[in-house]
Amino acid sequence: MLEVKGLSAGYHHLQILHELDLEVHEGEIVALVGANGAGKTTTLKTLSGLVRPTAGSITFGGDQAVGVRPSELVARGLVQVPEGRALFGPLTVEENLRMGLWTRRKEARASADLEEVFELFPILLERRKQLAETLSGGQQQMLAIGRALMTRPKLLMLDEPSTGLSPKLTWTVLDAVKTIRDRGVAVLLVEQNAAQALNLADRAYVLESGSIVLSGTGKELATDERVRKAYLGL
Amino acid sequence: MTSQPMVADQETRTPTPSAWWARLPWLRIGIVLAAVVAAIVLAYLRSGSTVVVTQAVVTGILIGGVYGLVAMGLTLIFGVLDIVNFAHGSFLAIALFLSYYLVAGMGMHPYLALLIVLPAMFLLGALVQRFVLAGAMGKPLENQLLITLGISLVIENSLLLFFGANPRSVSLPGDQGVAILGAVAELSRILAFVGALVLAGLLFLLLRRTSLGTAIRAVAANDAGAQMVGIDTRWIYMLTFAIGTACAGAAGVLVAPLVTIEPVTGALFNIIAFVVVVLGGMGNVVGALLGGLVVGLAEQLGALLLPGQSPLLVVFIVFVLVLLLRPQGLFGRSGS
């Protein structure tokens, strides 16, 4: 579904990513783990068209995805939930969710999707008339994921969804990620919290200084000696 | 979709969603109303005549509505595009001259001119944003500031070139004084107020009740987030600037029968619009309308309190006081 080959990118002559190869197939949860500053967020930004790559290719669903506007990529089904969530604070929960329908606003059955999101995160139904900025951190993360789901993504990219959440809420969010995958949406999960991400993922990549240094199934990497030492603190 | 995890969030910070009226800043509205009442009492003590004071209040409110409409356009542009648009008053001046041309040159009714001026100003705004301002988006504030200042100079001097410096006027057929609440106001002034309120209401409905309006507010709130739900922000920027310019255009048509039409008339409205925008809270559309009424009243009552001075003097005193005491504006959101 998503194929990345030899991807290099950076900001102002500072190269961050070095010839990255990465793939996400349909129905998979793929984790991208790595230390702070390894280039995880830059990878996601490049994939969603916010940063222009200096070399390499990105194809999504068989189509070229380099040089395509972010809004167009969303319409094609490549959707990111950024770190920091980028919610519309002064808008209500429901307005935030409905904005996820923007690229499909001419379709008739869009409202049914709202019910699906409320089913996944019942708390959002309860708070739907409340302003997004008044929600707690966990609720905001659920809203950000819910808003992204409203766009009907084929591939959902989550940037550090567990940041700032209690361990309990982290599990809630990661549980939801599994449900999303079971609904047929591929997930690319970027996490600093490597242990949980590797346990959840079907496959995973380890990113170090802008290069992929390891890849394998989630289970393999979770038991890999080097990964355990470097990221799991074991 | 077999097993749905029941997500129960243990954090309960805000128990019930609050109704819209509970979110209004009642205390501040009360203080503003008290200040207005105090100004009215002072004006009465100073002039000693109820008729004069009533007249000032009525005139102030009527012109304040128009100030509000002009400022709504300016504050919308600021809120969404983050551009301080110094050309806003010049767009109003273009609308004044367009109106003059349509009424005096082609014999059109002054209010029918809206049907031509409104779309024309909308289009002009869209073109200016697309071809002049789009390149400066996201650049330092000085860039945009100099560009909009440049646009205003070009517009003002083009008007001077084509129409000359002679003052002109538009008159409304059948315009006459109408008794209203113990005062007298020209019909054209009342209609300008009503027209401004209707258009302000339509703009409010557009922003609050349509998905396009919600998208405009979404871009204002977080443009990165807007891109991530697939909103083409370039298009929203262009549209918003066009709507803002159309507000100035509509206000131009409505005040055409009330003012002397000169290339520099726009500059006066520009200054007032900036004061109103700051009073109402930068980017706050409803605040702009209320701020317009406050400035209209300050101008008229100020002429009574400090006779012989420029009516703008009191407006600026209010402006400086608000900036000192509440820099985010009377109706702005408190520092977050």
pLDDT band at B1 (very low <50, low <70, confident <90, very high): very low
Given A50, A71, A179, which is nearest B230 (Cβ)?
A71
* Position B172 in a domain: no
Q: Tens digits of per-residue pLDDT, B74-84?
A: 999 999 999 99
Q: Is residue B173 part of a domain?
A: no
- Residue B166 near chain A (CB below 8 Å): no
Q: Is the separation of the CB atoms in B257 and B188 below 8 Å?
A: yes
Q: Which domain holds residue B310?
A: 47-167+180-325
Could you give the C-alpha distances from B313 to A205, B68, B272, B303, B306, in angstroms and in order?
Answer: 67, 19, 12, 9, 9
Condensed to tens digits (0 to 9), the pLDDT of residues A60-77 reads 999 999 999 999 999 999
| Band of pLDDT at residue B106, cut at 50, 70 and 90 | very high
What's the pLDDT tens digit per position in B281-304?
888 999 999 999 999 999 999 989
**Average pLDDT, integer, range B77-93:** 95
Does residue A78 surpass a pLDDT of 60?
Answer: yes
Q: What is the pLDDT of residues B115-134, one digit of tens each?
A: 999 999 999 999 999 999 99
- Position B61 scores a pLDDT of 96
Higher pLDDT, B336 or A168: A168
Residue A111 near chain B (CB below 8 Å): no
Verify whether the Cβ–Cβ distance A176 to B5 is below 8 Å. yes
Q: Residues 132-171, chain A: which have Cβ within 8 Å of B?
A: 133-139, 142, 147-148, 150-151, 168-169
Residue A127 tokens read as 């708070």
Q: For residue B19, what pLDDT is reported? A: 62
Average pLDDT on A159-178 reads 89
Tell me the two tokens of residue A181.
């995958």
pLDDT digits (tens, 9 = 90+) for B167-206: 999 999 888 899 888 889 999 999 999 999 999 999 999 9
- The pLDDT of residue B336: 34
Q: Decide if pLDDT at B63 tops 50.
A: yes
B332 assigned to some structural domain:
no
Q: Which stretch, B3-7, B10-14, B106-110, has highest mean pLDDT?
A: B106-110
Q: A99-113, A202-216, B224-238: which range is least confident on average?
A: A99-113
Question: What domains are defined for chain A?
Answer: 2-84+153-230 (3.40.50.300)
Residue B24 lies in a domain: no
The C-alpha of B294 sits at a distance from chain A's nearest C-alpha, in angstroms, of 25
Q: Which residues of chain A neighbour B231 with C-beta distances below 8 Å?
A: 71, 99, 102
Of A208, A163, A184, nearest to A174 (Cα)?
Answer: A163
Digit-coded pLDDT (tens) for B311-328: 889 899 989 998 898 888
| DSSP output for A56-114 | EEEEETTEE-TT--HHHHHHHTEEEE-TT----TTSBHHHHHHHTTGGGTT-STHHHHH
List all residues 6 or more positions away from B209 whose beta carbon is below 8 Å from its beta carbon: none
Asked whether the CA dihedral B253, B99, B123, B77 is positive or negative, the reply is negative
ipTM of the assembly?
A: 0.90
> Do the domain assignments include residue B289?
yes
Whether the predicted pLDDT of B207 surpasses 50: yes
Residues B180, B187: contact at Cβ < 8 Å? no
* A7-32: average pLDDT: 93
Looking at this protein, which amino acid is placed at residue B310? S
Confidence (pLDDT) at B56: 93
pLDDT of residue A233: 66
% of chain B surpassing 90 pLDDT: 69
Whether residue B18 has pLDDT greater than 60: no
In a domain, B284, yes or no: yes
Is B9 inside a domain boundary?
A: no
Mean confidence (pLDDT) of chain A: 91
Q: What is the pLDDT of residue B118?
A: 97
Number of domains into which chain B is organized: 1
Residue B31 lies in a domain: no
Q: Which of B7, B225, B336 sits opposite A123 (nearest CB)?
A: B7
Nearest to B191 by CA among B279, B250, B104, B248: B250
Domain at B80, CATH number = 1.10.3470
